[in-house]
Structures are given as C-alpha cells and as structure tokens.
Amino acid sequence: MKALRVSLQIKILGLVLSLGLLLIIIFTGFFSYMESRQIEESKGRMALEISKTVSLMPDVIRAFHSSDPSKTIQPLAEKIRKRTGAEFIVIGNKDGIRYSHPLAAEIGKKMRGGDNERAITKGDFYVSKAKGSLGPSLRGKSPIFDQTGQVIGIVSVGFLLEDINKQITENITKVLFVSLFALLISIIGSILLSGNIRRDTMGLEPYEIASLYKEKNAVLHAVKEGILAINKEGFITMMNQPAKRMLHIEGSVRHMKAERLFPSDLLYEVLGSGIPAIDREITWRDKTIIVNSTPIFDSGGVRGVVASFRDKTEIEQMVNTLSEVKRYSEDLRAQTHEYTNKLYVLSGLLQLGEYKEAITMIQNETSILQYQNSVVFNQIKDTRVQAILLGKLGKASEKKLNFDIVPDSYLEVLPNHIKLSNLILIIGNLLDNAFEAVYGKKSGKVTFFATDIGKDIIFEISDNGKGMGPEEKLHLFERGYTSKKGSEPRGYGLSNAKEAVRELGGMIEVQSTEQCGTDFIVYLPK
C-alpha cells in the first residue's frame, strides 16, 4: 500500500500549531503557578506590614488602657483599611475579643480562625491562611506590646482568597489572550513561510527534492567530464569525482574557496559578468583543461557558476605529435628531394664527360656528409635525435640554410620517459623557428648543441637572425601569438615546445637581442 504523502505546507502548519499549543499550555501552567505565588506573597507581605504598622501606633496601644477601646480603635482601623485596600483590619485583645471589624456587629465577639496563638503567646509576626467571619483569607498577624513589652493584643489584617484568586484569574486571562494572538500570528507566519519555501523550491515537495538530489548525484558521478559549482562568494558547493581526479584534488572540498585549489579567474569572471564562457583553456599542473562555465541566475541576479572540465592534454598531444611527425616526414622528403636533384646533376656531368667536375662535386658532398655524420652518428647516440637532426639537415640544405651541429655535442641514449613525440615537439619546433629566423639572410646560420653531462640533458639551438625585443619575448610562448604575417595559422610551435618541456619537468630559457639573434636552451631532468 502506497504511503500517504503530506504536503510541506500541512507539515509546517501542523508543527507550528502543535508547538504553539504545547508552549501555551506549559507557559500558562507555569505562569499560573508563579503568578499565584507572587500575588499571595505580595498580599501576605502587605497584610503583615499593615498589621505591624497598626500594632505600633501609640493611639492603638493607649486605647487598650481605656474603658472602651473599641471607640478609639474601630474608626482608626476602618480609616486605614479603606486607604490600604485591605479586606479587614481586626484588632483584638490577648483573649481574641475584637475591638474592630468591618462589620460593626462582630465587635466584641471572639476572633475566628484559630491562628492567633503564635502572636499572643510567642510575640511572633507572621502570615497565615484561615477561614474567618468573612470567609477564607490571607492574613498578616502582629502582636501589640505595652510599654513593659508584654503582649496585650493582636492585629489581624487580611485579604480574601476569593479576591486573590480572582486577580490571578484576570492576569492569566490576559496572558492567554496574548498567547492566542501569538498563536494566530505564528499560524499566519507559517502559511507565509511555507509559501515562500515552495517558491524557493519551485513548487517541489521535500520528497521530490530528495529524489532530484539522488538523481543529480547519480548523473554527476556517471559523466566522465569534471563538474564543479561555486556560489556567489566563491565557495565550492559541489564537485564530482572526475573533476577531483582531473585537478588532482583529494578529500572534501565543500565550503572551500575555489582559488585555493586551482586557477579560478575564469569562474570569477563569469560570476561577475553573468556571461557564459565556452571552451576556455586553463593549464593546471601537467594538464591542459577545457572549461565551459555557465552562470546560475535567480531573482537577485547571478548566484553561482557551474563549470565543466575536459582534459585536452591527451588529444592535444596526439594532434601535436601527428603534426610534428608530418613535418618530420616532410623534412625527410625534402632531404630525399635534395639528394635526387644532386644525383641528376651528377648524372648530367657524367653524361657530358665533365668527370673532373663530377669528382669535385662528390668530394665536396662527401666531406660535408662525413663532417655532419661523424657528429650525428658518433657523438649523438640516441637514434631518435639522430633521425630528427638528419631530417633537419636535409630541410636546411633544401632551403640553402647554414645549419651546423656543434662538434662538442655529445649525447647518450636518452631515458625511456622522454618519448619521440616530446623530442619532435621540442627540437623540431625550436629548429624550425630558428630556420625561419635566418631564412633569406645571406650570412644566416643555425647551430645545434646537445650534452648530457651532469643531472640534466641540455639542448641549445642558436640563430643569428633578427632577434626579439622585450615585448615579443614577453608573449613568445603564448598560444596563438606570432610576429609573422600571413593568413596561415601560427603561434603554436613554441607553445607546444614549452608544454612538452613542462610535461617532462624541465625548463626552457630564451636569450635574444634585436638584430643579434636568439638562443633557446632546454634543460630536461634525466
């Protein structure tokens, strides 16, 4: 059987009403108890103080020695009673015979209640409850002393319990009216609150919100993309596991500032502008990450940002490697084309009988190749670097560029963690950049130096081209930046080279002077 679902509004109303009634009952009971005690104590103290005052009055004491005490005491007692609001002021002798009473017929009769003993025999001042001629009352009892200190009478000042209870009831009734009014206000407030909550939750009930929350968690952990959300103060409110893995973050990140974990300028930019940012790239540690950021709006404006992350590094590395391999194959093709042209020239010389010219040409080419190959094959032991250099030698020959490998170069086989794709990105891009810098210059020259002495592997590529100014050096490795003209996409080679160096944990230095050339020095830890 399907459980009956109660709406949020009914729950809030029921809770407020139940709590209100419970509080009213507890408060009323406690107040009634405290009010009755307070009023009784107040009335008792008042009765006792009045009785003390009357017992010490000289006129009352002297009247006890007269032949008709009641004649003096009755008017005085009634005058004080009316002014103080007491129900009765009864003055009697030590035998309990009344000398005053609100009802004149009761004068001369014995006092009732049986609560005079302590005052007459012990001389005590006290408050008591008893039933007298006017009904149950709260009384203040005071003994009357003569000049010798002997008890000669008693003063009893009282307030009827009926009047006290009536006053207590009136006070409690006022509190009940205030409590009921507060309950009514709370009911109205709960209706407004529940309506406001429903607007904030877009009309969804709690069980529907719980269902959506579970679905959201399932979706967040099912997708491969990293997802992150921040509020308008920049605190992280949600991050799924793929995002944590992508950003190398462990543990809980809720209520942490985004900038403490990764570069978050893009998120704050969207938070401030309210404009989505699509396919923006950020570099974080060893990864290039594509970020899509979307603002979250409410009635007050932007209240947060949701960002999704995709790892671009692997795809980018593959594309860059394919591009560099393609360029490498083109270099080899250029080398083949150059040698084919030379073979055609040699064939023509032989056919024309210019044997001396042919021999001279062969000797020149042989000497050049022996010099270059002696360095490449005897001192550069790594076959991957050899292959790249041979390709670049062919490209330089085809473009009529002077490309020298420094004779002091020496390189053992490189560690396995340095891949061919890394070397193509680093050496290939830097040499191509140097070739372009000296292309068209009569005395243009490019040199390559490599060594693995020490803890680092060092590559140095130098050219005597036009060099760079401070402004160009500042933006040299920015993706898409180029100082060259033309419609062809440029500005990615040096950026790719730096990314490859950074991936291997190395560093790249640039030394350049305008009109004097440029040196690139790469340090790769072994």
| Alpha helices, DSSP H, located in 231-307 | 241-246, 265-273
How high is the pLDDT of residue 207?
76
* Residue carrying the six token digits 């949020």: 8
Confidence of residue 327 (pLDDT cuts 50, 70, 90): low
Neighbours of 148 (CB within 10 A): 6
Query: What is the mean predicted confidence (pLDDT) over 150-176?
Result: 87
Neighbours of 282 (CB within 10 A): 18
- Provide Rg for the chain, Cα atoms: 53
Judge contact between 180 and 24, C-beta under 8 A. yes
Query: What is the mean predicted confidence (pLDDT) over 263-281?
Result: 84
CA 515 to chain centre: 53
Q: Degrees (nearest 5) of the Cα angle 325, 331, 333? A: 105
- Judge whether residue 158 has pLDDT over 50: yes
Q: Degrees (nearest 5) of the Cα angle 229, 234, 235? A: 70
CATH superfamily, domain at 10-101+111-167: PAS domain (3.30.450.20)
Report the distance separating Cα 196 and Cα 178, nearest Å.
26
Dihedral, CA of residue 320, residue 326, residue 332 and residue 338, to nearest 10: -120
- Judge whether residue 465 has pLDDT over 50: yes
- Judge whether residue 318 has pLDDT over 70: no
Domain range 225-311, its CATH number among 3.40.50.1950, 3.30.70.260, 3.30.450.20, 3.30.70.920: 3.30.450.20
Confidence of residue 170 (pLDDT cuts 50, 70, 90): confident
Which run of H or of E encompasses 507?
A: strand 507-513
Report the distance separating Cα 58 and Cα 173, nearest Å.
44
The more confident residue out of 1 and 58 is: 58
Residue 110: φ, ψ to 5°: -80, 140
The more confident residue out of 96 and 338 is: 96
Report the distance separating Cα 349 and Cα 341, nearest Å.
13
Confidence of residue 370 (pLDDT cuts 50, 70, 90): low
Q: Which long-range contacts (CB under 8 A, 24 or more apart) does 198-204 make?
A: 198/8, 198/9
pLDDT tens for each residue of 488-526: 445 567 888 888 888 888 999 998 888 788 899 999 998
**Taking all residues of the chain, what is their mean pLDDT, rounded to a whole number?**
81
- Judge whether residue 143 has pLDDT over 90: yes
Give the least confident one: 272-281, 285-294, 476-485.
Answer: 476-485
The more confident residue out of 482 and 49 is: 49
How high is the pLDDT of residue 1?
44
Q: Is 522 exposed, middle or buried (0-12, 13-18, 19+ CB in 10 A)?
A: buried
Nearest in space to 391 (alpha carbons), one of 338, 464, 451, 442: 338
pLDDT tens for each residue of 395-439: 787 777 888 888 888 889 898 888 887 888 888 889 888 888 888
Per DSSP, 235 falls in state: B
- Judge whether residue 375 has pLDDT over 50: yes
Highest mean pLDDT among 23-27, 217-221, 311-315: 23-27
Query: What is the mean predicted confidence (pLDDT) over 130-158?
Result: 88
Query: What is the mean predicted confidence (pLDDT) over 483-492?
Result: 54
pLDDT tens for each residue of 449-458: 999 988 899 9
**126 φψ region: left (φ > 0), alpha (ψ -120 to 50), beta (else):** beta
Confidence of residue 487 (pLDDT cuts 50, 70, 90): very low
How high is the pLDDT of residue 368?
57
Q: Which residues contact 52 (CB under 8 A, 6 or more apart)?
A: 125, 140, 142, 155
Query: What is the mean predicted confidence (pLDDT) over 135-144?
Result: 89
The more confident residue out of 320 and 423 is: 423
Task: Please tell me if the domain spanning 10-101+111-167 has the same topology as the one spanning 225-311.
Answer: yes
Using DSSP bridges, classify how beta strands 507-513 and 517-525 pair: parallel, antiparallel or unpaired: antiparallel
Confidence of residue 486 (pLDDT cuts 50, 70, 90): very low
Positive or negative torsion for Cα 68, 69, 74, 80: positive
Fold annotation for 315-525? Heat Shock Protein 90 (3.30.565)
Sequential DSSP letters for 341-354: HHHHHHHHHHHTT-
- Judge whether residue 20 has pLDDT over 90: no
Query: What is the mean predicted confidence (pLDDT) over 35-46?
Result: 86
The more confident residue out of 109 and 279 is: 109
Nearest in space to 95 (alpha carbons), one of 112, 76, 120: 120
Domain boundaries, the chain: 10-101+111-167, 225-311, 315-525
Per DSSP, 87 falls in state: S
| Alpha helices, DSSP H, located in 56-160 | 58-63, 69-84, 117
How high is the pLDDT of residue 480?
61
